[in-house]
């Protein structure tokens, strides 16, 4: 199930790119400005910002809302960073803006990954503490029950020592 959700999120990221007003024309080799030309009014902006925001939402939801282990998410994280680099290679934004956006996207993915890893570590420590506490509790209850049984039913050797 984890792998399916991870692959589905990568597929969603790709679908968001090809359905974008800049991504679809790029894949077909057409200038996006010619496809979305307006007769009057301001020219539409052709930036990849909303694509990166959708990818950020997908990454954040994978890390925060789904019970997916960190090691399963590592390939998805790497692929999202590499895929976004490929998307930006044909970006209409300038090289400086594209590089800055890519770096910020990479930092966001890295921070999500570190947070997920830390959360997993904390969950494992909590479970370990819970199990050790339960073990100590069961051991002390067992010792207490054994002591109560010996108090109620003294052994014959202890009666013999009392008689002497």
In a domain, 131, yes or no: no
In a domain, 40, yes or no: yes
What's the distance, CA 101 to chain centroid? 21
In a domain, 36, yes or no: yes
CA distance 66 to 91: 31
In a domain, 77, yes or no: yes
Collect all residues with Cβ–Cβ distance below 8 Å to 8 and sequence separation of at least 6.
none
Instruction: Please give the torsion angle defined by the CA atoms of residues 98, 7, 73 and 128, in that order, rounded to the nearest 10 degrees.
Output: 160
In a domain, 88, yes or no: yes
CA distance 63 to 130: 24
In a domain, 26, yes or no: yes
Q: What is the span of the domain harbouring residue 101?
A: 2-124
Per-residue 3-state assignment (H helix, E strand, C coil) for 117-144:
HHHHHHHHHHHHHHHHHHHHHHHHHHHH
What's the distance, CA 1 to chain centroid? 14
Residue with tokens 């959700």: 5
Domain count, the chain: 1
For residue 58, the model assigns a pLDDT of: 81
Half-sphere exposure of 39 (CA within 13 A, CB side): 0
CA distance 15 to 62: 17
Per-residue pLDDT of the chain (164 residues; tens, 9 = 90+): 777 877 777 777 777 766 766 666 776 777 666 666 665 555 555 567 777 777 788 888 888 888 888 888 888 888 888 888 877 776 767 777 778 888 888 898 899 889 888 989 999 999 999 999 999 999 999 999 988 888 887 665 555 555 55
For residue 127, the model assigns a pLDDT of: 96
CA distance 58 to 49: 14
For residue 45, the model assigns a pLDDT of: 59
- The DSSP annotation for 20-86 comes to STTHHHHHHT--HHHHT--SSSPPPP--SHHHHHHHHHHHHHHHHTS---HHHHHHHHHHHHHHHHH
């Amino acid at each position: 199930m984890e792998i399916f959700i991870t692959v589905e999120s990568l597929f969603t990221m790709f679908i968001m790119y090809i359905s974008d007003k800049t991504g679809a024309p790029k894949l077909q080799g057409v200038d996006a400005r010619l496809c979305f030309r307006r007769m009057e009014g301001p020219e539409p902006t052709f930036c990849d910002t909303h694509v990166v925001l959708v990818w950020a939402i997908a990454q954040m939801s994978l890390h925060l809302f789904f019970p997916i282990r960190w090691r399963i998410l590592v390939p998805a994280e790497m692929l999202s960073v590499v895929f976004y680099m490929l998307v930006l290679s044909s970006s209409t934004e300038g090289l400086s803006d594209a590089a800055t956006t890519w770096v910020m996207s990479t930092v966001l993915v890295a921070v999500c990954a570190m947070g997920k890893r830390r959360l997993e570590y904390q969950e494992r420590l909590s479970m370990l503490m819970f199990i050790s506490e339960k073990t100590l509790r069961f051991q002390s209850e067992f010792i207490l029950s054994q002591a109560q049984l010996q108090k109620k039913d003294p052994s014959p050797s202890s009666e013999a020592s009392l008689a002497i």
